[in-house]
Chains A and B, each alone.
Chain A
Amino acid sequence: MKEGLNTSLQYISNIKCCESNFLLDLTHFFEVGEMNRRLVLVVSLAVTMVLFNLGAAFLFPGADTSVVTLGVGLAAGIVSAGISLLFGERSEVVSDKRTKKIHNEAMAYSWWIVFIFIAVYFWLDYFGKTKQTAPELASTIFILMTVTYILFWFVRERKGFS
């Protein structure tokens, strides 16, 4: 009886141990995950979105291209995250202060690019020079932000961030 109880307790403690490791892994991935893994994820998401943006009209004739792009892109992002979690490169090294600074700077730059884009777009729209719908504009902004973030991140990473 006592032996059985011990075995059960051991089993429960093993479950707890595994759960905490799993949660730790998730925390590690979403907060201080390895940068290569994040880069693979972001790049695969961006590439997928661009490809579907180009091909959506042919794949789903008659449907609203932008809505399809966003929907499929979101699904592709979830699939990419799953693939990255399962097969992505695992490393003990976490992101540090330098990579966090690079991330913040890339985010700020990409935000400014989008801000300028929206300002320019406003005047183009005001003078009737563009005919994009709201979903089309949303997907353009999403792609612009992703691409500029990756670009700025890559450039700052190469330079070392002094």
Chain B
Amino acid sequence: MKTRIKEFRARLNLTQEELAKKTGVRRETIVFLEQGKYNPSLKLAHDVAKVLQITMDELFLFD
């Protein structure tokens, strides 16, 4: 699984810490999400997509 979190986060000038705070998770979780090393829950995926103002389809890429 690949994600475009970093790309969309940069567009909104958000730091990992800020995104973590807005989604209610730890910064390390955002780091692992961006690296595709963590499979998030549906709620977290939804929350991240909402904060980044995009849909989940755009955010996560499945091979």
Contact = CB atoms under 8 A, between A and B. Distances in A.
A31 interface: no
B21 interface: yes
A157 interface: yes
A93 B20 contact: yes
A162 B37 contact: yes
Contact of B41 (A92, A93, A97, A161): A97
Interface string A17-59: 0000000000000000001000000000000000000000000
A162 B38 contact: yes
Contacts of B25: 93, 96-98
Interface string B15-44: 000001100111111001001111101001
B37 A160 contact: yes
Contacts of B21: 92-93
A160 B32 contact: yes
Contacts of A97: 25, 41, 44
B26 A160 contact: no
B26 A162 contact: no
Contacts of B38: 98, 160-162
A131 interface: no
A99 B39 contact: no
A96 B26 contact: yes
Nearest to A97: B41
A95 B41 contact: no
A161 B32 contact: yes
B14 to A, nearest CB: 15
